[in-house]
Amino acid sequence: MIESQKPRVREAVSAELARSGARLAGFVLDMLCTSMLDLAEEFGAPSYIYFTSGAAFLRFQLHVQESHDEEGFDITEFKDAELACPGLTRPVPSKVIPSGFLNKEWVDLDSSTTITRNFRKTKGILVNTVRELESYALESLSGGMNIPKVYPVGPILNPESSSESSGSEEDEVMRWLDQQPESSVAFLCFGSMGGFCAEQVKEIACALEGSGHRFLWSLRRLEGGPALTPTTTDYGDVREVLPEGFADRTTEVGRVIGWAPQAVVLAHRSVGGFVSHCGWNSTLESMWFGVPMATWPMYAEQQFNAFLLVKELEIAAEIKMDYRTESGEIVSAEEIERGIRSLMEQNNPMKEKMKEFCDKVRGALMDGASSSSSIAEFIEDIKINYRSESGKIVTTEEVKRGTKSLMELAKQLDEGDDI
């Protein structure tokens, strides 16, 4: 599909250059659109990647590709074990490796490794993260190893985004939240592709009722059964799938809705916990508003994100780390209730830790702060990397790497090493 768009992109860029008389400084490509590198070459322009996940996952992806190319490592055969990975302080359990990496057909097509291999052909990678959040992972991405320069430019999100629902429905939700005590509501929301079958809905309902906590539950129907790339819709009438009498018994403490204005809800003072699918945007939004999380991943790299949140950063309670929509697994009410109770526990240390991350994430975008400086550095590097009519300009990073290698060689010579 991406390949088929090349003629359209070529035409659009050519038309814009002809219209404006501008000179092309570069292409910034989505992390899955690396086949467009060929097009950038045609225009004689450098390429950059915009990586929408975090730095730890980028390092994991590069490590898997490097191990595959240099050692013949087959990640599809990696089961019931742990993988040591640069950028993480703990080994990665095979159960949280994304399904796309474990799908034999996809790996045989060389799709994920080709995409990652192409990252290394670019001039830089913009990552939607914050240096203070993933300093360890970012450190492992610097200093050679054929990894382009990484720019942590996050958080890139829209904290004032509105919902897809009608205004009256959203207003009703917000009025209900206004009436709840501060930090008392558990918010359950699982993204645009996070839906549940009727059996799982009943388990969640029992857990919520058993926990005794106030809740706002964005409930979506899973269409067509378990799948690697699920689709969801709103239930016509949620009472049809909820346990009998549930809505009446919880009418004072809870609301079950369809699509939710996630960022608006997370910003509300009454929300004290977020049961999430751990998509990276949702993770950053939760940090932005300082709301602790409970993990229930669904698809893509969300299992990896859940591992990062629970084990590495220690700012989330675990409901599941290894759940996959395509598995058809039913998570028990007991597991869910235990996770919700842990999430909403008043003296849980992860609440204070999340507040610290909130300050770091917000502070990164201030003038002169880490992400603000990284964006400015990226703009300067665009100028340096610009290809003039006479040929390719050598980048600052290439000069730095060359100088470092030269100084190491000089040191060895000075010490009399036989090289």
Question: What whole-number distance in Å separates Cα of residue 172 and Cα of residue 170?
Answer: 5
List, in sequence order, every beta strand (DSSP E) within 18-79.
Answer: 27-30, 47-51
Note the Cα 403 to chain centre separation in Å.
35
Residue 417 burial by Cβ neighbours in a 10 Å radius (0-12, 13-18, 19+) = exposed
Tokens matching residue 188: 């359950």
Whether cis (ω within 30° of 0) applies to the bond prior to 226 is no
Phi then psi for residue 93, to 5 deg, are: -70, 145
* Residue 319 near residue 335, CB atoms below 8 Å: yes
Tokens matching residue 197: 């079958």
Per the DSSP assignment, residues forming a β-bridge with 188 are 217, 275
In the sheet that 254-257 helps form, which strands lie side by side, from edge to edge? 254-257, 214-218, 185-189, 271-276, 293-295, 316-318
Q: How many CB atoms lie within 10 A of CB 33?
A: 19
Q: Judge whether 381 counts as a catalytic residue.
A: no
Instruction: Tell me the helix, strand and coil percentages in the chain, rounded to 5.
Output: 45, 15, 40
Question: What whole-number distance in Å separates Cα of residue 32 and Cα of residue 52?
Answer: 10
Catalytic residue from among 30, 171, 178, 359: 30
- Alpha helices per DSSP H over 153-273: 167-178, 198-211, 246-249, 262-266
HEC-encoded secondary structure of 371-399: HHHHHHHHHHHHHHHCCECCECCCCHHHH
Q: What positions carry a catalytic annotation?
A: 30
